[in-house]
Amino acid sequence: MKRLFALRGAARCVNSEDDIVEQVSAMYDDILFQNSITETDIVSLQFSVTADIDAANPAAALRKSGRAANLALFAVQEAASRDSLPRTIRCLLHCYMDAAAAPRHVYRNGAEILRPERGPDRAPFGPGGA
What domains, with CATH codes, occur in the chain? 2-116 (3.30.1330.40)
Give the DSSP per-residue string, 98-112: ETT-----EEETTGG
User: How far is 79 from 100, CA to CA, in rounded Å?
Assistant: 33
pLDDT given at position 123: 40
Beta bridge partners of 48: 76, 90
pLDDT tens by residue, 68-114: 999 999 999 999 888 889 999 999 999 999 999 999 999 999 888 88
User: How far is 11 from 43, CA to CA, in rounded Å?
Assistant: 21
> Does 116 have pLDDT greater than 90?
no
pLDDT tens by residue, 1-59: 999 999 999 999 999 999 999 999 999 999 999 999 999 999 999 999 999 999 999 99
Residue 67 neighbours by CB distance under 10 Å: 17
pLDDT given at position 113: 85
The DSSP bridge pattern shows strands 2-12 and 88-98 to be: antiparallel
Q: Could you tell me the pTM of the whole model?
A: 0.87
The answer to whether 18 and 90 are in contact (CB under 8 A) is no
